[in-house]
Amino acid sequence: MSERVVGPQDSGLEKTLGTWSIFVAGVGLVVAASTLVSDFVGYFTIGLAFLVALVIGFLINLFLGLSCAELSTTYPKAGALYEYGARAVPWRGASVVAGLFLAFAFYGMFGIVGALEIAAGSFGLQALFGATGALAPWIIAMTVLATLPNLVHVRTMAIIEAVVLVGMLAIRWFFGVAGWAGFSNTGAWSAGNWVGEIGVFEWSAVAGALALAYWSFVGIEFVAPLAEETRNPRRNLPAGIVLGLLAILATSAFMGTGVGGTRPLAEWEESAMGPAGCDGSCPQLVVGEAMFGGWGHGLMALATAAATYTSMVIVLAAMPRILYGIARDGNFFGARLSRVFAYLHPRFRTPWVAVFVTAVAYSVVAIFFNDVVTLIYAGSYAWVIIYILWHLLVVVSRFTDPDVARPFRLPLAVPIIGALGTVFALYFAFQGAHSTYGLPALAIFAGAMVAALVSYALARARQPVRASDEQGDVTKR
C-alpha cells in the first residue's frame, strides 16, 4: 500500500470513550428525527405488520453491528471504512483506491441522509417556535448548534450528547406510556384500533415496509470512526452497539404501539399523511397535537428538534474523522489538502477543518432537498448496499489479512448470513422501485469511484513528505 504520512498530530485523538459513550453515540445517531417519521408512517399505514418489519430490521442491523464491531476493534482507526477497505485489499494501489472509494461512498451517501435529517429536525424546530416561511434559516441554525460540541474535546461532546439524548428518549417513552395508560385526549388504548385491512403477518405489507423499518436502526456503525478514541474497544464497542440496538427496538415498539392503539388506524393515517402531517414528513406533530393539544404539539416538536440535534452531533463527529483519517495518510486529494484536513485543534484535539467542511456541505444539500420521506427511501437504498459491503469486508479481510489480531472475532457465518439477509431486505424492500431509488445510489457510487481515483492520482503525484511520529518512525501500510 502507499506510504502513510505520519505527523506529530497522528496520535492526537483522545482515547476517552467508554461503553456508555459508544451507546450514546450509536443511539443518538439512530434515534433521529427521521425515525419518528419512518416509525409513525410505518405504523399508521400498515398497522402491526410494521412491528414484524421492525423486528426483521433489528436482526439485519444486529448482524451489521457485529460485523462493525469486528472491523472497528481489528482496525481501531478514525478512517473506518477507508481503513477497512485498504486493509482488506492486498494490492498496493488498489488498496488505497478501495479504501477511498468506500469512504467517499459513505460520505456521499450521507449527503442525502444528512439532508433529510436536518430537514426533519428543522420542521420540528420551526414548529417549536410557531414560525412559518422558508426552512433554510432553521437548517442553518440546527447545523450551527450541532457543530459547536464537535469543536471541543470528544468527551465533552459525548456528555452534551448524552444529556440531550436522555431528554429526547424520555419524550418518546412518555407518549408511549400515555398511549398505553390511556391518559391522553385520544382516549383509552384498544386492540380494536389496530384492526385494519392488512394482516399482521401479511408478507407483501411487511416487505413493503422493510425500508422504513430498516431506517429505524440504520447508523449504528457510526461508532466505528470513534474507535481510535475508545478505551478498551474490544469490550466497549460490541457492548455499546448491542445495547444501543436493543434500546432502539424497545423505544420504537413501545412508543408506536402505545400511540397507535388510541385511535382507529384509518384516522391516524388520514391525519398523519395529510397537510397537518406535512404530507407524511412530520406525522409526529399530528400525534402530539391529537394526544395533548398545543403543548403536546410543542413537546413532539421539541423531541423532533432534539432527535436531529443528537443525530447531527454524531454525524459531525464521525464523518469528519473519516476525512481526517484519509488526510492523515496523505491521500486526500494531494499533499496540500491532506495537510489542511489532517489539522487537529492544538487544545481540543478535534479535526476542525473537516468538521466545518462537512457541516457546510450537508446543510447546503438540506436547503435544496428537504422532502423527508422521499429522501428516506433514496438514502436507505444506498445505505443498504454499503451495509452489504461491511459484511463482505469482514469475510475478505479474514483471507487477505489473516495474521492481524482480532480482539473481537465473529464466527464467519455471522457476516455471511448478515450479507445474505441484507441482500434479501434490499430486494424485497424496494421491489418495483429499484430503478427509482437504485439510480441515485449508483450515481453516488460512481461519483465516489471518480473521487477515489482522482484523490489517489493526486496523492501519487506528490513527493512523499516523511515526518516522524512519536517513535521517530515512518509507518508503512
Residue 255 has pLDDT above 70, yes or no: yes
Q: What is the pLDDT of residue 474?
A: 34
Q: What is the pLDDT of residue 454?
A: 96
Highest mean pLDDT range out of 25-39, 268-282, 344-358?
344-358
Rounded CA-CA distance 380/387 in Å is 10
Rounded CA-CA distance 317/104 in Å is 16
Residue 423 has pLDDT above 80, yes or no: yes
Q: What is the pLDDT of residue 338?
A: 94
Residue whose C-alpha cell is 440531550: 164
Give the model confidence (pLDDT) of 434-472 as tens digits: 888 888 888 889 999 999 999 999 988 854 444 434 333
Give the model confidence (pLDDT) of 59-111 as tens digits: 988 999 999 999 999 998 878 889 898 888 887 778 899 999 999 998 888 77
Q: What is the pLDDT of residue 167?
A: 85
- pLDDT band with cut points at 50, 70 and 90 for residue 185: very high
Q: How far is CA 189 from the centre of its chain?
A: 33
Q: What is the mean pLDDT of residues 116-143?
A: 79
More confident site: 203 or 17 = 203
Give the model confidence (pLDDT) of 14-47 as tens digits: 677 777 777 777 777 667 667 888 899 999 988 9
For 134: left if phi > 0, alpha if psi spans -120 to 50, otherwise beta; the answer is: beta
Q: Which of 107-121, 143-157, 402-416 has the lowest mean pLDDT?
A: 107-121
C-alpha cell of residue 263 = 385511535
Work out the mean pLDDT of the chain and round it to a whole number.
83
C-alpha cell of residue 380 = 436507505
Q: 146 near 397, Cβ under 8 Å?
A: no
Of all residues in the chain, the percent with pLDDT exceeding 90 is 35
Helices in 329-433 by DSSP H: which ranges? 335-341, 352-368, 372-400, 413-429
DSSP reduced 3-state for 203: helix
Q: What is the pLDDT of residue 473?
A: 38
Q: What is the pLDDT of residue 451?
A: 95
C-alpha cell of residue 424 = 434479501
Q: What is the pLDDT of residue 240?
A: 85
Helices in 228-334 by DSSP H: which ranges? 233-260, 265-272, 283-328
Q: What is the pLDDT of residue 264?
A: 93
Q: Which of 8-12, 230-234, 316-320 has the lowest mean pLDDT?
A: 8-12
Q: What is the pLDDT of residue 29?
A: 65
Q: Which of 179-188, 225-234, 287-296, 365-374 has the lowest mean pLDDT?
A: 365-374
Highest mean pLDDT range out of 124-128, 195-199, 358-362, 394-398?
394-398
Q: What is the pLDDT of residue 472?
A: 37
C-alpha cell of residue 226 = 470513534
Q: Which of 53-57, 122-126, 174-178 has the lowest mean pLDDT?
A: 122-126
Residue whose C-alpha cell is 419524550: 171
Rounded CA-CA distance 319/358 in Å is 7
Q: What is the pLDDT of residue 286?
A: 92
C-alpha cell of residue 103 = 469512504
Q: 31 near 307, Cβ under 8 Å?
A: yes
Q: What is the pLDDT of residue 449?
A: 95
Q: Which of 122-126, 224-228, 264-268 has the lowest mean pLDDT?
A: 122-126
Alpha-carbon torsion angle 307, 361, 389, 231, nearest 10: -60
Rounded CA-CA distance 331/31 in Å is 33
**H or E segment to which residue 109 belongs:** helix 92-128
Q: Select from 180, 191, 213 the least CA-distant residue to 50.
A: 213
Rounded CA-CA distance 459/2 in Å is 9
- pLDDT band with cut points at 50, 70 and 90 for residue 216: confident
Domains and CATH numbers, the chain: 19-461 (1.20.1740.10)
Q: 71 near 314, Cβ under 8 Å?
A: no
Q: 96 near 88, Cβ under 8 Å?
A: no
Q: What is the pLDDT of residue 468?
A: 37
Give the model confidence (pLDDT) of 360-417 as tens digits: 988 888 887 656 566 667 777 888 898 899 999 999 999 999 999 999 999 999 999 9
Residues near 450 by beta carbon (within 8 Å), at least 6 away in sequence = none
Q: What is the pLDDT of residue 6?
A: 38
Q: What is the pLDDT of residue 13?
A: 64
Q: What is the pLDDT of residue 409?
A: 94
Rounded CA-CA distance 131/89 in Å is 52
